[in-house]
Amino acid sequence: MIFAVLAAAAGHRVTVLERLPFVGGRTSSLEAGGFRFDLGPTFFLYPRVLEEIFASAGADLNSSVPMTRLDPQYRLVFGAKEASCSTHLDATPDIARMEQEIARISPSDAAGFKKFLAENRDKLAAFQGCMQSPFTSWSDIITPKMLGLLPHLKPHLDLDKYLQGFFKDPRIRTAFSFQSKYLGMAPFRCPSLFSILSFLEYEYGVYHPTGGCAAVTAALADLARSLGVRIKLHEPVTGMTFEKKRVTGVTSVQQSYRADAVIMNADFARGMKRLVPNELRASWTDQKIAKKKFSCSTFMLYLGVMGLFLACLITRFASLPTTKKIYRKSTSINRHTQIHLSTFRIACVTDPTLAPSGKSTLYLLAPVSNQLAKTDWKTEAPRLRKRLLQEAAALGYEDLEKRITFEKIITPDDWEADYEIHLGATFNLAHTLPQMLHLRPQNRFKDISGLYLTGGGTHPGSGLPVIFESARITTRLMLEDMG
């Protein structure tokens, strides 16, 4: 939708074909019985990118979607099965208070917080150009500017090892590394570059958009329509038309469309395999896609319940000595005996518009294996649901079962079948070093003229602010090519 806004603002005629009866995809909402839940992302980071996008189209983000900065941003709960025995940390953007929170758990680590912020402030400034530029080949990597970034990149370190330079206590390191789950990765596998994710939270804030993150995509759609964009809902694309190695349009369930350029925002692997003939994509054939690494998936439990709660957002971790083992199990094997509740959010505490009076919305997420694990989710889902409710009770939210008036579960089966996500890998291609920059699907798809990509499957990667940058890169490339 961001591409549509930017291209229309530049004077181009744009038609958006949306498979679902509403905009947003994974950044849409579930609504029933007066409850509204964010389907996927449930809070918002680094709104500066979106503010710039709205401004470039003559609009104001904050007028369109009011946002509340959260403080504390979330509570991290570590360890024991009983809330009274666990350790918690209330993450706050207030530096002095955050140092106190760290010192309460690990006094010797408090001094590392400002050092972490300073180093990552420099890292973000150094890498910002990379996040905003296309990478088409090795020649874009082997430049004096890029080589100068190697001291910041530290390719020999994963995120957890990098954080050991600031924090000794594994609980504190987890507080600054769990953000790797935004990419569907464990901190023990995630490149150290992505320490900037937690830095963004403390430097620029964690926000709740009124109406949920789906309100952002709805506002983008309204802005696009005001610029003349045609948005066709409930109109799945069934194929593309080509003349030799150039795309000339798309075909939907309703009609065919001629186009000077086609921008694909579908899940990359699913879109390629379904819409582009294998022989036209030598760089990304079915065989090559099958060899790539994909992220984990998620098990989602959305509950509408009677009663009100005080907490807003809790990120829960299991006993830290086994965290590495738990992460490995959640992303690589067909067992879920070690899966734990990762995110527990009650967004209606901040935003009462999300639930009827006297009721609450609860959002529970657990990272699980993608479909390569061949899990029988008909059997596993009830068992995992029970465990998540037990963990919620351990956090102090007891008797939820008796208070539920609405419930929906989404498993990797559903992500794959209902939301067209390859392998149910909700964070797309894994963000390993061999799958980044020019080695990731490029914004200007090099095998086919006129075809462009945007979304988490292309450069620079997943996470809402990063996906927004992907759309800006793609728009600039298309405008350059169109003259």
Q: What are phi and psi of 119, to 5 degrees?
A: -65, -40
Mean pLDDT score, 153-169: 91
pLDDT on residue 395:
83
Kindly state whether residues 309 and 407 are assigned to the same domain: yes
Kindly state whether residues 47 and 101 are assigned to the same domain: no
pLDDT on residue 331:
45
Q: Is the dihedral of CA 77, 81, 82, 84 positive or negative?
A: negative
Which amino acid, residue 3?
Answer: F
Q: Which residue among 397, 417, 437 closes a domain?
A: 417
Q: What percent of the chain has pLDDT over 90?
A: 70
Q: Which residue among 392, 417, 442 closes a domain?
A: 417
pLDDT on residue 181:
85
- Lowest model confidence (mean pLDDT) among 82-86, 415-419, 473-477: 82-86
> How many structural domains compose the chain?
3
3-state class (DSSP) for residue 326: helix
Kindly state whether residues 327 and 379 are assigned to the same domain: yes
pLDDT on residue 225:
98
Kindly state whether residues 38 and 116 are assigned to the same domain: no
Half-sphere exposure of 389 (CA within 13 A, CB side): 19
Q: Which residue among 417, 447, 474 closes a domain?
A: 417
Residue 391 inside a domain? The answer is yes
Kindly state whether residues 55 and 105 are assigned to the same domain: no
Q: For 84-133, what is each residue's pLDDT tens digit?
A: 556 889 999 999 999 999 999 999 999 999 999 999 999 998 877 777 77
Kindly state whether residues 111 and 20 are assigned to the same domain: no
Residue 129 inside a domain? The answer is yes
Which amino acid, residue 39?
Answer: L
| Residues 400, 306: Cα–Cα separation, whole Å | 9
3-state class (DSSP) for residue 65: coil
Pairing mode, if any, of strands 313-317 and 343-345? antiparallel
Kindly state whether residues 197 and 112 are assigned to the same domain: yes
**Maximum Cα–Cα distance for the chain, whole Å?**
66
Residue 394: DSSP 8-state: H
Residue 342 inside a domain? The answer is yes
Q: Which residue has the higher pLDDT, 425 or 136?
A: 425
Kindly state whether residues 333 and 412 are assigned to the same domain: yes
Kindly state whether residues 45 and 128 are assigned to the same domain: no
| Residues 196, 234: Cα–Cα separation, whole Å | 37
Residue 396 inside a domain? The answer is yes
Which amino acid, residue 192?
Answer: S
Mean pLDDT score, 178-183: 86
pLDDT on residue 222:
97
The beta-strand segments (E) located in 327-419 are 343-345, 359-368, 404-410
Q: For 365-388, what is each residue's pLDDT tens digit?
A: 999 999 999 999 999 999 999 999
Pairing mode, if any, of strands 313-317 and 297-306? unpaired
**Comparing C-alpha atoms, which of 267, 260, 216 is closest to residue 237?**
267
Residue 223 inside a domain? The answer is yes
pTM of the full predicted structure? Answer: 0.91
Q: For 254-292, what is each residue's pLDDT tens digit?
A: 999 999 999 999 999 999 999 999 999 999 999 999 999
The confidence band for 319, taking pLDDT boundaries of 50, 70 and 90, is very low
Kindly state whether residues 150 and 133 are assigned to the same domain: yes
Residue 149 inside a domain? The answer is yes
Task: Tell whether the model's pLDDT for residue 332 goes beyond 80.
Answer: no
Here the contacts of 343-346 (C-beta below 8 Å, separation 24 or greater) are 343/42, 343/313, 343/314, 343/315, 343/316, 344/313, 344/314, 344/315, 344/316, 344/391, 344/392, 344/395, 344/397, 345/42, 345/43, 345/312, 345/313, 345/314, 346/309, 346/311, 346/312, 346/313
Residue 81 inside a domain? The answer is no
The kind and range of the H/E element at 436 are none
Mean pLDDT score, 444-449: 96
Mean pLDDT score, 237-244: 96
Kindly state whether residues 43 and 99 are assigned to the same domain: no
Residue 387 inside a domain? The answer is yes
Kindly state whether residues 378 and 306 are assigned to the same domain: yes
pLDDT on residue 140:
65
CATH number for the domain that contains residue 57? 3.50.50.60
* 259 contacts: CB under 8 Å, gap ≥ 6: 15, 247, 248, 249, 250, 450
**Comparing C-alpha atoms, which of 123, 127, 2 is closest to residue 52?**
2
**Comparing C-alpha atoms, which of 456, 467, 379, 374 is closest to residue 423?**
374
| Residues 301, 303: Cα–Cα separation, whole Å | 6
Determine the structural domain holding residue 2 and report its residue range: 1-65+212-230
| Residues 110, 93: Cα–Cα separation, whole Å | 14
Mean pLDDT score, 148-158: 76
